[in-house]
Amino acid sequence: MNDNIDLSLLGGVLDEYADIKGSLITILQHTQDIYGYLPKEAIELISERTGIATSEIMGVGTFYTQFRFEPVGKYLIMLCQGTACHVNGSELILQTIKDELGIDDGQTTEDGLFSLKCVACLGCCSLSPVMMINEDTYGSLTPDKTKKILKELREAAV
C-alpha cells in the first residue's frame, strides 16, 4: 500500500454513493478530484465497498479519457488537436512543448511540474491553436508565445 494515499478521504464519497446503482462514474470523478488521479488502492477500496469487480472499474476508467491512473504535474497542459487547431499549427506547438519540457503526450516532467495531454477538441476553435493549462485557456499560440507561457509558469512555481 502506498503510504501517500489517505483512503479515509474517500469515506464520504463511498458513504454517499456506494449503494446507488449506476454511480460508478460519479465515484470515480470524486476520487480523481480528491487525488488528482485514480490510485490503485482507491480502486480496490471502491471495489470492496460497491461490490463491482476491479476489472470492471478499470474497464470504465480506461474507456473515458477524463480518467487518469498516474499522478499529473502541478500544471496539466491539454493541447487541442482538433481540425481548426491542426490546420493552424498545433503540431508546431506540440513540438515546441516537447522541446521545452522534454516530455511526450501522456508524460510528466521529472520535477513533477508539467504533464502533457493531447486532446481531440477543447471547443475554442476561434482561438486556434489553443491549449488549456489547468483552468486557464491560451489561444492564438505561436512557438514563442508557448515558450513564454511555460517559462512564466515555471518561474511562478519556484
pLDDT of residue 156: 93
**CA distance linking residue 141 with residue 151, whole number of Å:** 14
Closest listed residue to residue 136, CA positions, set 73, 92, 88, 77 = 77
Please tell me the pTM assigned to this model.
0.72
User: What does DSSP assign to residue 140?
Assistant: S
pLDDT of residue 151: 97
pLDDT of residue 131: 97
The residues facing 22 across adjacent strands are none
**What are the contacts of 42-50 at 24+ separation with CB within 8 A?**
42/5, 42/7, 42/10, 45/7, 45/10, 45/14, 46/10, 46/14, 46/18, 49/14, 49/18, 50/14, 50/18, 50/19, 50/24
pLDDT of residue 1: 38
Contact 40, 77 (CB under 8 A): no
User: Does 129 sit behind a cis peptide bond, omega within 30 degrees of 0 on the bond before it?
Assistant: yes
pLDDT of residue 65: 77
> How confident is the prediction along the chain (158 residues), in pLDDT tens digits per residue?
345 789 999 999 999 999 999 999 999 999 999 998 999 999 999 999 999 999 999 999 999 878 989 888 999 999 999 999 999 999 999 999 999 999 999 899 999 999 999 999 999 999 999 999 998 999 999 999 999 999 999 999 88
pLDDT of residue 86: 96
Contact 143, 91 (CB under 8 A): no
Contact 26, 66 (CB under 8 A): no
**CA distance linking residue 69 with residue 131, whole number of Å:** 22
pLDDT of residue 2: 44
